[in-house]
């Protein structure tokens, strides 16, 4: 299994030096690297943002060992975890990593997570160093408590981690939450929220911003996801149907149409992730 994939280097030191001479004295300034880990079976992506020998993990998959190994190889520490939403299709290792490393976990204040965490809301900023920061976007639609994270370098948006809100060529399904009696109404409400998310949160981003979702092709969190590993806002604006609907009604009808089945374990996983799951190893030994 190809669990790791090199994606992107930070700005070159030479480039930074020419554009901003004050940075030449600090040869690590503005440098970062985004590592993508793939769980092929679930078509799920975890991201490690590496900078200053520190790592921020986004949506860590069930087994945390590859992330510990990655940190060791880079002589780095995992300093934070961001959960974009409580996943329905897999169990996240956020709680396990917290128990081992006391790593800060950031997630939406709307989730009311039951594990120790830092609740975040739209516009909040996590400062990484003098050059890098993470900006939180409230991006409901796949779930009411979905957030995206914009990586900014020297005040320029570089990448957005979209969870299951914006996917490659699609958006996340709006029917995997709120399993109450009026489910049609709840799905329509989330679909409307997704319309606003596309219009007000993703459309204003620059075309050059890289798009890193939590899932790729084949995932049941999406419907018609393109089989690629990364994209850009510009490409999605041109080619993703979600950006092309004239009005909310057309958008809602389109994303509620022909949805795949919902595996029975999905509601269970959402609650498990909201609570924080037990470690993986004892479970495997049982
Ligand atoms: Fe999801």
Domain ranges, residue 102: 4-266
User: Ligand 1 center to residue 11 CA distance, Å?
Assistant: 31
Residue 178 pLDDT: 64
285 is a domain residue? no
CA of 42 to the centre of ligand 1 (A): 11
Kindly state whether residue 197 falls inside one of the protein's structural domains. Answer: yes
In a domain, 280, yes or no: no
**Is 215 a domain residue?**
yes
Q: What's the pLDDT at 195? A: 98
Q: SS3 string of the chain?
A: CCCEEEEEECCCHHHHHHHCHHHHHCCCCCCCEEEEEEECCCCEEEEEEEECCEEEEECCCCCCHHHHHHHHHCCCEEEEEECCCCCCCCCCCHHHHHHHHCCEEEEECCCCCCCCCEEECCCCEEECCCCEEEEEEECCCCCCCCEEEEEEECCEEEEEEEECCEECCEECCCCCCCCCCCHHHHHHHHHHHHHHHHHHHHCCCCCCCEEEECECCCCCCCCCCCCCCCEEHHHHHHHCHHHCCCCHHHHHHHHCCCCCCCCCCHHHHHHHHHHCCCCHHHHHHC
pLDDT above 60: residue 23? no
CA of 75 to the centre of ligand 1 (A): 31
Q: How far is the CA of 90 from the centre of ligand 1 (A)?
A: 9
- What integer is the mean pLDDT of 266-276? 91
At 195-252, the pLDDT tens digits run 999 999 999 999 999 999 999 887 776 676 787 888 999 999 999 999 999 999 999 9
Q: Is residue 284 one of the residues assigned to a domain? A: no
- How many Å lie between the centroid of ligand 1 and the Cα of residue 134? 21
Query: Rounded CA gap, 8 and 20, in Å?
Result: 21
Cα–Cα distance, 64 to 170 (Å, whole number): 28
pLDDT digits (tens, 9 = 90+) for 126-142: 999 999 999 999 999 99
Question: Average pLDDT, stretch 163-177?
Answer: 91
Residue 202 belongs to a domain with what CATH number?
3.60.15.10
How remote is the CA of residue 267 from the centroid of ligand 1, in Å?
11
Answer whether residue 282 is part of any domain. no
Question: Token pair of 5, please?
Answer: 């994939």
The β-bridge relationship of strands 104-108 and 77-82 is parallel
pLDDT at 281: 81
Distances (CA, A) of 286 to 92, 113, 281: 19, 27, 9
How close is the Cα of 221 to the center of ligand 1, in Å? 5
Specify if 279 maps to a domain.
no
Using the mean position of ligand 1's atoms as its centre, give its distance from the Cα of residue 164 in Å: 5
Residue 65 region, left (φ>0) first, then alpha (ψ -120 to 50), else beta?
Answer: alpha
Centroid of ligand 1 to alpha carbon of 156 (angstroms) = 28
Specify the number of domains making up the chain. Answer: 1
What is the pTM assigned to this prediction?
0.87
Does residue 218 sit within a domain? yes
Give residue 269 CA to ligand 1 midpoint distance, Å.
10
């Amino acid at each position: 299994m190809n669990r790791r994939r090199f994606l992107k280097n930070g700005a070159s030191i030479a480039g930074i030096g020419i554009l901003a001479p004050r940075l030449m004295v600090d040869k690590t300034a503005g440098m970062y690297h985004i590592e993508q880990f793939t769980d092929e079976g679930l078509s799920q992506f975890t991201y490690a943002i590496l900078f200053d020998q520190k790592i921020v993990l986004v949506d860590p998959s069930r087994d945390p060992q590859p992330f510990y190994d990655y940190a060791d190889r880079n002589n780095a520490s995992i300093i934070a975890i961001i959960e974009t939403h409580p996943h329905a299709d897999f169990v996240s290792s956020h709680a396990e990593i917290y128990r081992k490393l006391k790593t800060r976990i950031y997630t939406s204040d709307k989730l009311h997570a039951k594990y120790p965490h830092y609740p975040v809301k739209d516009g909040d900023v996590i400062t990484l160093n003098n050059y890098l920061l993470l900006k939180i976007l409230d991006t409901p639609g796949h779930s009411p408590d979905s957030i995206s994270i914009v990586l900014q370098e020297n005040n320029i948006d570089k990448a957005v981690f979209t969870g299951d809100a914006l996917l490659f060529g699609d958006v996340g399904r709006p029917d995997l939450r709120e399993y109450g009696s009026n489910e049609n109404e709840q799905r329509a409400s989330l679909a409307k929220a997704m319309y606003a998310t596309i219009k007000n949160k993703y459309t204003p981003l620059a075309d050059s911003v890289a798009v890193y979702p939590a899932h790729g092709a084949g995932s049941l969190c999406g419907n018609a996801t393109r089989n690629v590993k990364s994209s850009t806002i510009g490409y999605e604006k041109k080619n993703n149907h979600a950006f092309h609907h004239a009005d909310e009604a057309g958008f809602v009808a389109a994303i509620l149409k022909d949805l795949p089945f919902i595996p029975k374990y999905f509601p269970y996983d959402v609650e498990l992730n909201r609570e924080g799951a037990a470690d993986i190893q004892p479970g495997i030994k049982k």
